[in-house]
């Protein structure tokens, strides 16, 4: 057992002196303020169990101030503010905050033998009961319209790698289809309604997931929409309304979803958010027009969100996918010629599939990508590196 696991074990068994001693050498080595606050939690509980009111209040005040300064997960801030401090809740919050305390602390988990240990990337695949890179993870995937959707490729890859899923839908007809497609999955996904053009609907989705799951590890945003007339002809003719519809649905919604999911990630000590982009964000693609502008806004949002959510150990990335014949894509005039171009001109001389996108998404949501955030990963057979 490493020192974080020993610390958690001692905390759970109310051996606060011992817990303090487990982390003290690491704090002296690193000077990390996050390790220091973990130690203060042990001291706080020690004072409280001994009935030392003055000591309890002093440490609690210091802790609350420091946790705010360090933008600690809400769960930690919440339990530190409790009166009287609730020992089991502190232990739960600290166990979930391993990633926030430090990469070395990882995620604490309890093995079959009941021993606390930390979970690294290699452990995820080997964990008893785990079926793959996302074993034990809970993921929300937004944007399955049908079996051609990129989101469907991602949902299938996530399920294959052991994730438990929630799928969102906007229209009742899609809900009926989804229900049929997933009925023989070993763990049937939650189906939650969500229209990203409606703030209340997004907030309600967050509430439903909080009620059903408590916390969340991965979120995939695979949503875009533009008025049909705006994906043909000249960009210069885009209407104000067309601009608003495209950027609000396809880019602003990423921040909206992130806001609703933040408390759920924090319960789990961090997580990941993934968006779907296209090369039209950087280069002029005929007829892509206002959607190219929306994708540029989406990619910039990925970077700003990566910065905002990083302290909560939430990683934010995008996949820039090559063209795939989906419902949304066929709305772009002349789309089928793009499909041929990528196969003819990409270094790998092939198109891409929703499975390719799904596999890349698994990587970005997994612990193997645990130090990757704010990135746009091209899954386009290398097309983006070509000149002419």
Ligand X SMILES: NC(=O)c1ccc[n+]([C@@H]2O[C@H](COP(=O)([O-])OP(=O)(O)OC[C@H]3O[C@@H](n4cnc5c(N)ncnc54)[C@H](OP(=O)(O)O)[C@@H]3O)[C@@H](O)[C@H]2O)c1
Footprint on this chain of ligand X (rule: CB under 6 A) = 143-145, 149-151, 170-171, 174, 194-197, 222-225, 249, 276-278, 321, 323-324, 326-329
Determine the Cα–Cα distance for residues 377 and 111; give it in Å rounded to an integer.
Answer: 35
Determine the Cα–Cα distance for residues 110 and 202; give it in Å rounded to an integer.
Answer: 33
Q: Indicate the residue among 67 and 216 with the shorter CB distance to ligand X.
A: 216
Residue 238 CB, nearest approach to ligand X (Å): 17
Looking at 16, 169, 252, 288, which residue is catalytic? 288
Residue 321 CB, nearest approach to ligand X (Å): 4
Peptide bond just before 180 cis, omega within 30 deg: no
Residue 153 CB, nearest approach to ligand X (Å): 8
Q: Indicate the residue among 44 and 205 with the shorter CB distance to ligand X.
A: 205
For every residue of 205-260, DSSP letters joined together read: HHHHHHHHHS--SEEEE------GGGGSS-GGG--HHHHHHHHIIIIIHHHHHHHH
Residue 385 CB, nearest approach to ligand X (Å): 17
SS3 call for 190? strand
At 165, phi and psi to the nearest 5? Answer: -115, 150
Please write down the long-range contacts of 74-81, taking CB distance under 8 Å and 24 or more positions apart.
Answer: 74/263, 74/266, 75/266, 75/267, 76/37, 76/100, 80/41, 80/44
Q: Indicate the residue among 97 and 329 with the shorter CB distance to ligand X.
A: 329
Q: Indicate the residue among 60 and 320 with the shorter CB distance to ligand X.
A: 320
Q: What is the largest CA-CA distance in the chain?
A: 75
Determine the Cα–Cα distance for residues 337 and 342; give it in Å rounded to an integer.
Answer: 9
Looking at 16, 169, 278, 383, which residue is catalytic? 278
Tokens 């989406």: give the residue.
298
Residue 286 CB, nearest approach to ligand X (Å): 14
Q: Indicate the residue among 75 and 277 with the shorter CB distance to ligand X.
A: 277
Q: Indicate the residue among 143 and 215 with the shorter CB distance to ligand X.
A: 143
**190-193: strand order across its sheet:** 190-193, 164-169, 138-142, 218-221, 271-277, 314-321, 376-379
Determine the Cα–Cα distance for residues 70 and 34; give it in Å rounded to an integer.
Answer: 8
**169: annotated active-site residue:** no
**252: annotated active-site residue:** no
Residue 332 CB, nearest approach to ligand X (Å): 8
Which amino acids are annotated catalytic?
278, 288
């Amino acid at each position: 057992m490493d020192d974080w696991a020993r610390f958690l074990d001692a905390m759970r068994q109310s051996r606060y002196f011992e817990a303090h001693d487990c982390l003290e050498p690491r704090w002296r080595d690193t000077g990390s303020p996050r390790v220091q606050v973990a130690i203060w939690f042990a001291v706080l509980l020690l004072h409280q169990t001994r009935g030392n009111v003055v000591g309890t209040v002093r440490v609690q005040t210091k802790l609350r101030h420091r946790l705010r300064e360090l933008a600690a997960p809400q769960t930690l801030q919440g339990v530190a503010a409790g009166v009287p401090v609730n020992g089991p809740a502190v232990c739960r919050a600290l166990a979930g905050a391993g990633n926030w305390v430090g990469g070395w602390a990882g995620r604490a988990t309890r093995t079959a033998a009941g021993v606390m240990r930390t979970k690294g990337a290699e452990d995820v695949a080997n964990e008893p009961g785990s079926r793959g890179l996302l074993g034990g993870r809970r993921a929300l995937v937004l944007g399955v319209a049908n079996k051609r959707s990129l989101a469907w490729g991602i949902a299938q890859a996530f399920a294959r790698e052991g994730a438990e899923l929630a799928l969102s839908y906007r229209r009742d007809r899609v809900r009926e289809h989804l229900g049929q497609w997933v009925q023989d999955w070993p763990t049937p996904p939650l189906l939650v309604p969500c229209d990203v053009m409606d703030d209340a609907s997004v907030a309600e989705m967050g509430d439903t997931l909080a009620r059903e799951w408590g916390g969340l590890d991965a979120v995939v945003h695979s949503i875009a929409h533009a008025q049909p007339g705006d994906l043909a002809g000249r960009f210069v003719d885009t209407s104000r309304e067309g601009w608003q519809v495209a950027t609000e649905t396809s880019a602003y919604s990423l921040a909206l979803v992130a806001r609703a999911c933040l408390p759920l990630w924090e319960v789990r000590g961090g997580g990941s958010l993934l968006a779907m982009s296209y090369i039209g964000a950087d280069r002029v693609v005929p007829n892509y027009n206002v959607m190219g502008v929306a994708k540029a806004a989406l990619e910039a949002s990925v970077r700003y969100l990566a910065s905002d959510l990083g302290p909560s150990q939430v990683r934010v990335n995008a996949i820039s996918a090559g063209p795939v014949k989906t419902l949304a894509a066929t709305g772009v005039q002349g789309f089928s010629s793009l499909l041929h171009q990528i196969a003819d001109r990409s270094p790998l001389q092939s198109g891409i599939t929703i499975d390719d996108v799904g596999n890349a998404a698994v990587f970005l949501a997994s612990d193997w990508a645990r130090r990757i955030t704010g990135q746009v990963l091209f899954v386009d057979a290398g097309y983006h590196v070509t000149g002419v």
